[in-house]
Structure 1
Amino acid sequence: MKLHLTLPQSNLIKEAVKVTGSKSESNRILLLQALYPNLEIDNISNSDDAQVMAKGLKIASGVVDIHHAGTAMRFLTAYFASQEGKEVVLTGSQRMTERPIGVLVDALNALGAEITYEKNAGYPPLKIKGKKLTDHKVSLPADISSQYISALLLNAAKLENGLELALVGKITSVPYIKMTLALLTQLKIENSFEGNSIKVFPKKEVKTQTLVVESDWSSASYFYSIAALSEIGSQITLSSYKKNSLQGDSVLSKIYTSFGVETVYQENSIILKKIANPTIENLEWDLANAPDIAQTIAVTCFGLQMSCYLTGLHTLKIKETDRLEALDVELSKLGAAITVTDKTLTLKATTAIHADVAIDTYNDHRMAMAFAPLALKTTIFINNAEVVSKSFPDFWRDMATLGIGVQVQ
């Protein structure tokens, strides 16, 4: 599906939107529910990724196809490895077979798991024969995706002796690790995170309770971008969010003050208010703890004709696409002066934004959504726009609610 996005009748926007539950929290809680079936979930994400995760957890044998869902690949690898009697082949899309998983497989095998590669060593598909894991000490590089670490931690309390995880080097994506541990704490699962050592103690049963999923802060980023590109006086209300969020991407509220966007917290929602023009000419930010919002921030800076220097982006090269290269290509089409390395992005301020450029999405939901706010500045096309269903199925409907023209070509 190709969409043509056109400018709203007014860039003064005053609307309210309900955003689906966090994909990150949903997938974690779904796995915990599989381990402790007496748990209930409220406000679960309606994303493709959450649906794939839920479906995969119900399979005991045969092929489990998680399509493009990287989180599901990591979490289910650890889950099936520790489920005695289950035997599956865990696979996904062509892109998924190109995304490395060796570091997690090595760690699980070191704990006594039985995982082998069906094709290329270090990459899916994986043949997993579930076993009772009794070893409880393992190490991982600290600068890898937090999903590898969380995959181990989420399953740890159900291991006979729990888990003691040593992280080697400088830790990245700390908020996502803390999100996982906070959920364990909510279930009264004892854990500790001191220095580079994480411990999770065994717990056979948990109290019956309902876990409420907060709305997705990564999804909120696109509304922050729209607010930043809108007229002063605009305000967008988003629900359901809380001030002390477990999600690392909640740093948006701090970053976007540089773009003149104020975040007002209410009981179950936030209001994004455009109160001023950008307060700086060049944004510099280390996004090692929130890499999923890098695309949105880069596009926002381009739309505001600002410069930016973003670092801590080393995990973007193994996402749904190589996001740094994709940003380089697509922003250049629009007239940007951009350079990228394997972990940084540099954008120089430009005064012109080309119109009617077709943005390729590379099977990456965040490419489609990150570029959509530019419709407040120019008319653009989005190729394969349906890819947003991976995390935010209602995205285009919500764009139309804000006044952006959304026309199928």
Structure 2
Amino acid sequence: MNLLLHSSPESFRDCNPQSAIQITGSKSESNRLLLLQALFPNITIENISNSDDSEVMQMALKGNEEIIDIHHAGTAMRFLTAFFAIQEHRTVTLTGSSRMKERPIKILVDALQQLGAKIEYIENEGFPPIKITGQKLSQNKVSLPASVSSQYISALLLIAPKLENGIELRLEGEITSVPYIKMTLALLNEIGVETSFEENKIIVTPSAFEAPRPQTLTVESDWSSASYFY
């Protein structure tokens, strides 16, 4: 049997003697766009990943709970920490599975606190669960070790258009995650946010609009998932 692989969001269908299957969207791109959509509701997303991380992101961003359990979703923990730090007049507690409570979040929390965020550890210093009191962040200069996970870097870059003065992020040392950083910046550019990435300094300007023009963004399919069918 031959397989026709489709990236469009159609349901599975049999086409004798061939079959067509849907390839889910990239998790990395989906989670970035979901956060941007929460900041700029004019954005519509197609072909969202069906991964646990992306499903947790969608539920957390649409809900109004004071305690948000992200279970094992590491990307969601990092992106949501940054997101809720700028949600004025809202306080949330981010928690997760026992394994998630062993995964450090201190580097990101320290960076957000440099920008003026109010974040407290509830149990162990440097680890979830964390209590976040959202507020306006007026500081714009922050530094991170260049070797940290790209998710820490992207979390800061994604909220930058909503910061009063944008962000100037310096990465100290040798950068190890350039492709993912460039993915984040490309998505910001696509909705009209100006950015620059020169040597070890990244600048994201504050958005010149309350909401970008209405637009539909399609998540690139995660073609690596096709290997399971083969």
Q: Same fold (TM over 0.5)?
A: yes
| SS at structure 1 position matched to 2:108 | helix
Residues 90, 153 of structure 1: CA spacing in aligned structure 2 closer, same or farther, 3 A cutoff? Answer: same
Task: Report the equivalent of 2:222.
Answer: 216
Separation in 2, partners of 1:217, 1:147: 21
1:206 aligns with 2:212: yes
Separation in 1, partners of 2:155, 2:64: 18
Task: Report the equivalent of 2:169.
Answer: 165
Give the % identical residues. Answer: 64
1:149 aligns with 2:153: yes
Separation in 2, partners of 1:172, 1:57: 29
Residues 250-306 of structure 1, C-alpha deviation per residue, up to 9 Å, x if partnerless?
xxxxxxxxxxxxxxxxxxxxxxxxxxxxxxxxxxxxxxxxxxxxxxxxxxxxxxxxx
Deviation, 1:205, is 2.4
Deviation, 1:60, is 3.8
Task: Report the equivalent of 2:72.
Answer: 68
Separation in 2, partners of 1:218, 1:174: 20
Q: Which of 91, 94, 97 does residue 93 from structure 1 map onto?
A: 97
Task: Report the equivalent of 1:115.
Answer: 119
Q: Which of 183, 187, 191 does residue 187 from structure 2 map onto?
A: 183
Runs of 4+, deviation exceeding 4 Å: none
Separation in 1, partners of 2:223, 2:87: 32
TM-score when normalising by structure 2: 0.89
Task: Report the equivalent of 2:4.
Answer: 16
Alpha-carbon RMSD across the aligned residues, in angstroms, is: 1.4
Deviation, 1:112, is 0.5
Residues 30-88 of structure 1, C-alpha deviation per residue, up to 9 Å, x if partnerless?
10000001110111112221110011112344111111111100000000001111110
1:29 aligns with 2:17: no
AA in 2 matched with 1:96:
M
Task: Report the equivalent of 1:56.
Answer: 60
Task: Report the equivalent of 2:81.
Answer: 77
Farther off after superposition, 20-29 or 53-62: 53-62
Is contact 1:60–1:88 with CA below 8 Å preserved after alignment?
no
Separation in 1, partners of 2:153, 2:93: 21
Residues 217, 126 of structure 1: CA spacing in aligned structure 2 closer, same or farther, 3 A cutoff? Answer: farther
AA in 2 matched with 1:160:
E
Larger radius of gyration: 1
| SS at structure 1 position matched to 2:66 | strand
Separation in 1, partners of 2:211, 2:4: 40
Separation in 1, partners of 2:172, 2:114: 16
| SS at structure 2 position matched to 1:83 | coil
Residues 95, 217 of structure 1: CA spacing in aligned structure 2 closer, same or farther, 3 A cutoff? Answer: farther
Separation in 1, partners of 2:145, 2:139: 19
TM-score when normalising by structure 1: 0.50
Task: Report the equivalent of 2:199.
Answer: 195
Separation in 1, partners of 2:223, 2:99: 25
Is contact 1:49–1:69 with CA below 8 Å preserved after alignment?
yes
Separation in 1, partners of 2:64, 2:157: 21
Is contact 2:41–2:211 with CA below 8 Å preserved after alignment?
no
Separation in 1, partners of 2:225, 2:67: 31
AA in 2 matched with 1:101:
I
1:106 aligns with 2:110: yes
Residues 323-378 of structure 1, C-alpha deviation per residue, up to 9 Å, x if partnerless?
xxxxxxxxxxxxxxxxxxxxxxxxxxxxxxxxxxxxxxxxxxxxxxxxxxxxxxxx
Mapping of residues 325-336 of structure 1, within 5 Å: none
Count of residues in Structure 1 that have an aligned counterpart in Structure 2: 212
Separation in 2, partners of 1:218, 1:24: 13
Separation in 2, partners of 1:14, 1:23: 26
| SS at structure 2 position matched to 1:199 | strand
Q: Which runs of 5+ in 1 are unaligned?
A: 1-12, 224-394, 403-409
Separation in 2, partners of 1:154, 1:218: 25
AA in 2 matched with 1:103:
I
Residues 94, 125 of structure 1: CA spacing in aligned structure 2 closer, same or farther, 3 A cutoff? Answer: same
Q: Which runs of 5+ in 2 are unaligned?
A: 6-21
Separation in 2, partners of 1:171, 1:97: 27
AA in 1 matched with 2:3:
E
